[in-house]
Amino acid sequence: MIKITAPPHQLLDDDTIRQTLAAGLEGQFAQQKVLVLIPDHTRTIPLPFLFREMVALLHDTRQLDFMVALGTHPALSEAHLCQLVGITLEERQTVYRHVGLLNHAWDSPEVLTPIGVLPQAQIQEIAGERWHPTLGGDVEVNINRAILNYDHVLILGPTFPHEVVGFSGGAK
């Protein structure tokens, strides 16, 4: 894992971000099927810049798709998907025609598959004093079965594990 942190009260500049992405991605996924999970419009991230950089660095993949982690938000239209990643509809049909832009179908049970169970005892342990009996028992963990069709899944964005509801970009 490559980790870089901006100095206090400063942002990373574009060149530093490019170099860091290149160090971690360039040539690592040649001829592989790669899915990049990205946040929707409710999370703050320079997604248009990062999308273009990642597509350029992952040019040698066999398949490259970006799936929007919608949470429980509505699916995005093709125009909104393009807007989210900062490309025009014309660029989508030309420069980026080889890149998949997908919505996570969180509301379609047929596309979800279970991968395990998070036991209540573990949830209690993680939550500590914040745990309350109304949170229920064991939690079945389901993912979009499309993920199983890829060699690698990359998470891009301010996505953090959430001990009660899966993944979250912030406090609930």
Q: How confident is the model over 118-135, as a mean pLDDT?
A: 86
Predicted confidence (pLDDT) at residue 167 exceeds the cutoff of 60: no
Spatial CB neighbours of 57, under 8 Å, sequence gap ≥ 6: 21, 22, 25, 26
Task: Give the separation between CA 10 and CA 19, rounded to whole angstroms.
Answer: 18
Query: Which of helix, strand or coil describes residue 152?
Result: strand
pLDDT at 162: 55
Beta bridge partners of 160: 168
Residue 110's pLDDT band (boundaries 50, 70, 90)? Answer: very high
Taken in order of first residue, the domains within the chain and their CATH numbers are 29-107+144-157 (3.40.50.11440)
pTM: 0.82
Spatial CB neighbours of 104, under 8 Å, sequence gap ≥ 6: 67, 68, 69, 70, 144
Are the C-beta atoms of residues 35 and 71 closer than 8 Å to each other? no
Residue 171's pLDDT band (boundaries 50, 70, 90)? Answer: very low
Task: Give the separation between CA 32 and CA 153, rounded to whole angstroms.
Answer: 11
**Helix (H), strand (E) at residue 23:** helix 14-25
pLDDT at 163: 52
Spacing of C-alpha 169 from chain mean position: 11
pLDDT at 134: 82
